[in-house]
Every structure is written in C-alpha cells, then in structure tokens.
Amino acid sequence: MIADIADRLGDVPAYVYDLAALDAHAARIRAAMRGIEVYYAVKANPDPAILRTLAPYVDGFEVSSGGEFDHVSALFPGSRLAFGGPGKTAADLARRPYRFHVESPRELDLLQGDVLLRLNLKAEVDGAALAMSGPFGMDPEMVAACREKPGNARIAGVHAHLASGLDAPALTGLAETIVDHALPGEEVCVGGGMAVDYADPGRTFDWESYGEGLRGLGRDVMRIEPGRAMTAYCGWYLTKVLDVKRVHGELFAVLTGGTHHLRTPVTKGHDQPFTVFGPGGPEEEVTLVGQLCTPKDVFARRVKAALRPGDVVAFAMAGAYAYNISHHDFLMHPKPEFHYVSGMP
C-alpha cells in the first residue's frame, strides 16, 4: 500500500505504480472500445510492468523510435507494432513492424511492407492542450502523390494524431474529418489525445461515448493509440519535505527529488495534484519545489497544504509522460526507487 511505502520513505524519492488500478482501467477502456483496435502509445510510459499489465487489453503498441520498437519486440515477440514518428533513420526503416506510419513521400520510397499514410490536417481543434501541427505527416496533396507512387509499399490506410487533451465529442469530430480522407475499405487510425484533467482527477475521459462515436463511423478497421489517458492515473511520485521557509513573503516547501524525476507539471504548466502523509495542521498557501538549482523546479504553485519537514508528499497522476520525459541526470541526484503494488487507498 502507498501508506506503507510513505512510512518507509528515506531521502530517495519513489515512484509507485498501482498495477491493479491500471488493470481495471484498461479493462474498462477495452470494453468501451469493442470493435475498435486499441494500440497503446508506448511513449507515455514504457515501463515493462506497465506494458505487461496493458498487454491483455490492447491489440498492439504504437512505437515512435527504433528504441521503443526493440523494447516492445523483446517483451512481446510477434506483437503488432505500429511504427510512427518523424525522422526515421535507415536502421528504423529496415525494421519490420505490422504497420509503418509514413511521414513523407521520401520515407515511402524507402519502405516496404504495409503502411498507413500519416495525415496532417488543418482541422479545428478548439480546447486542445497541444495541436500536432508543424512537420508531422503530410498534407492532403502529399498524400495524394503517395497514393500515385506507392513504390514497394502497400498502402493499408491512413493515420492521424491531430491534437491532445480533447474530450470525446471533439475527438469524434476529428475522427470524422480523418475518415473523410480515407478510401473505402482502408484502415483508419485516429491517434490518441484523450483528455486528462490534472486539476480535477475525477473528471475522466468518456470512453463509452467515444467508442460509440467511432463505431458509428462504420469502418471495418478503426484504431486508436491512447497514451496519457491510459496510464496517467496509475502512477504516484513520493517525495519527502526537507525544508519549509518563507522568502520575500512566499512560503516554499523544498522536497527531495524534483522535476528531473517528474517533469509533467513544468511541461504542462499545471499544479500536480498530491496527498500529504503527515500529522496535518492548519493549511497555508505554499509552493512545492524540488532540489534543482533552477526556479523552474516547481511541482505546484501557491496551493493550500499543511507541510512540515519529514512529511511525505505523494504526487498523483504521475503514470504518463512523467519519469520517462524527465531530465534524470541534471545535478546527479539519485534516481528514484520504483515500487509496483496492487491496491491504493
């Protein structure tokens, strides 16, 4: 249990993954997505225990580098992999995934096997946390040129990942637009991007209505590649309060570890939600920072909490784009411990 790990926590922070919660969450997604293929986007969290927990509930994995391809192939030989991402090297293109996501006509020229053409559409994505515009994929003119000259590849369909942080109606609308660019009988992969609300963790993505919306588009093979909304909830990052002080009127709690272990609040610009294990007391407005020598090392700004040295702070929603996107080696602090448990409070 998380409380036992908090009790024993020393000066080295710990990641705790609740695999039972992840199992239940993945089962719910699988049921809601009946008739839809689900490929987990490994970039969200490639931890082997996480991948093993998800494996029974997914049809395959989306990988975005040769490293991810090799990692997942070693764990699940023969599994279905969709290999995407811009800037593939010759060694990447020589690999043999179930599907390549083609980023450019040049890439298509160099490829063999079954491919999906990655679309870059100027779609309306109001409310998106991140719009994947810029260099990703191809505009409709480039896609048309690829269809005329497929070279040694077989074009199996189209792929797009247009934005992240969207709710089910917005993603269903984008999926309709993507489907309009597919030929009859082609596979359609509409990417990930399901919203996660860090300010209100209880407000989760409506998988049921998204599944219904996607089935309503009537394609034989429809695929999604969720990352964040699959694994964000199962991870916790536990740190200890080292110091509490007021500087120029602002109260700071300095914690072990930092954003070199949990960069998510900095990259997303949010306050990471947390629970405190300690005696409690009157709450004050406090900014939670780590051990790094940079003012950007902030987990949460001016939030209400009762914190004193020795208390343990357990940051929630640290299961996706958390440890694996962080700059671990900056300042050479120790790496965190990792614990895998079944059952949290």
List the one residue out of 26, 51, 23, 37 whose CA is nearest residue 211: 37
Q: What is the DSSP secondary structure assignment for residue 169, as one 8-state letter?
A: H
**Minimum CB separation from ligand PLP for residue 44, in Å?**
5
User: How far is residue 22's CA from residue 279's CA, in Å, rounded to a whole number?
Assistant: 30
Task: List, as one string, the DSSP characters of 113-149.
Answer: EEEEEEB------TT-SEE--SSSSB-HHHHHHHHH-
**Minimum CB separation from ligand PLP for residue 88, in Å?**
13
**Minimum CB separation from ligand PLP for residue 199, in Å?**
17
In the list 192, 265, 290, 319, the residue contacting ligand PLP (rule: CB under 6 A) is 192
Q: What is the DSSP secondary structure assignment for residue 331, as one 8-state letter?
A: G
Residue 316 tokens, joined = 């929630």
**Minimum CB separation from ligand PLP for residue 162, in Å?**
10
Kindly tell me which of 38 and 254 has the beta carbon lying closer to ligand PLP.
38
Kindly tell me which of 305 and 316 has the beta carbon lying closer to ligand PLP.
316
In the list 13, 46, 60, 84, the residue contacting ligand PLP (rule: CB under 6 A) is 84
Residue 293 appears among annotated catalytic residues: yes
Kindly tell me which of 305 and 320 has the beta carbon lying closer to ligand PLP.
320
Interface characters, 149-178, with ligand PLP (x: CB under 6 A): ------------x--x--------------
Please report the sign of the dihedral spanned by the C-alpha atoms of residue 137, residue 142, residue 146, residue 149: negative
**Minimum CB separation from ligand PLP for residue 124, in Å?**
18
Kindly tell me which of 225 and 271 has the beta carbon lying closer to ligand PLP.
225
> Which range in 9-17, 104-112, 185-193, 282-290 contacts ligand PLP by CB under 6 A?
185-193
Kindly tell me which of 41 and 313 has the beta carbon lying closer to ligand PLP.
41
Tracing tokens 């343990």 back to the chain, one arrives at 312
Helix locations, the chain, DSSP H? 2-8, 19-32, 48-54, 66-75, 90-93, 105-109, 140-148, 168-179, 207-215, 228-231, 264-268
Residues 72/81, Cβ–Cβ less than 8 Å: yes
User: How far is residue 59's CA from residue 230's CA, in Å, rounded to a whole number?
Assistant: 14
Site for ligand PLP in 228-287 (CB under 6 A): 228-229
Residues 252/287, Cβ–Cβ less than 8 Å: yes
47 SS3 class: coil
Interface characters, 38-77, with ligand PLP (x: CB under 6 A): ---x-xx-----------------x---------------
Chain residues binding ligand PLP by CB under 6 A are 41, 43-44, 62, 84, 161, 164, 191-194, 225-229
As annotated, the active-site residues are 293
